[in-house]
């Protein structure tokens, strides 16, 4: 069978691991959420146009406190490769779950006498 007959789905360059790294690197925990000890998951649906840009960003399940806006900001920054399908412009719809967890601080100390 020929590979040319099937429509290829657009994937983030480097796959899921690279996508997670991108989110972790760019995510800024909203101060309002931090000050109110808010943690949770934001589920977002978005489209990827044939040029690899994200559009139509929609919050399916949010947690508020600035987290929804921050998750949408991250999704807007995502850049996918141009559509891999020959002469067919396809818009792909994807969902992503962005987790907000308050970072745990660890302090190391030594007692000297």
Cβ of 100: how many Cβ atoms within 10 Å? Answer: 21
Report the SS3 class of residue 23: helix
Report residue 51 as tokens: 């040029």
Q: Which helix (H) or strand (E) holds 102?
A: none
Smallest Cα–Cα separation from 90: which of 3, 4, 2, 9?
Answer: 9
Q: In the prediction, which pLDDT does 1 show?
A: 46
Rounded to two decimals, what is the model's pTM? 0.83
Residue 113: the pLDDT is: 73
- Reading the chain (113 residues) residue by residue, the pLDDT tens digits are 445 556 677 889 999 999 999 999 999 999 999 999 999 999 999 999 988 999 999 999 999 999 999 999 999 999 998 876 667 788 889 999 999 998 887 677 778 87
Angle at 54 between CA 100 and CA 72, to 5 degrees: 25
- Note the pLDDT of residue 84: 64
Q: How far apart are CA 39 and CA 52, in angstroms?
A: 30
């Amino acid at each position: 069978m020929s590979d040319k007959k099937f429509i290829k789905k657009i994937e983030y360059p480097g796959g899921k691991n690279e996508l997670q790294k991108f989110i972790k690197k760019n995510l800024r925990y909203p101060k309002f959420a931090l000050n109110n000890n808010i943690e949770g998951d934001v589920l977002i649906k978005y489209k990827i146009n044939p040029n690899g840009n994200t559009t139509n960003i929609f919050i399916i399940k949010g947690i508020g406190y600035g987290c929804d806006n921050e998750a949408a900001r991250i999704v807007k920054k995502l850049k996918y490769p141009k559509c891999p399908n020959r002469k067919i412009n396809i818009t792909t719809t994807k969902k992503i779950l962005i987790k907000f967890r308050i970072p745990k601080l660890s302090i190391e100390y030594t007692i000297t006498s």
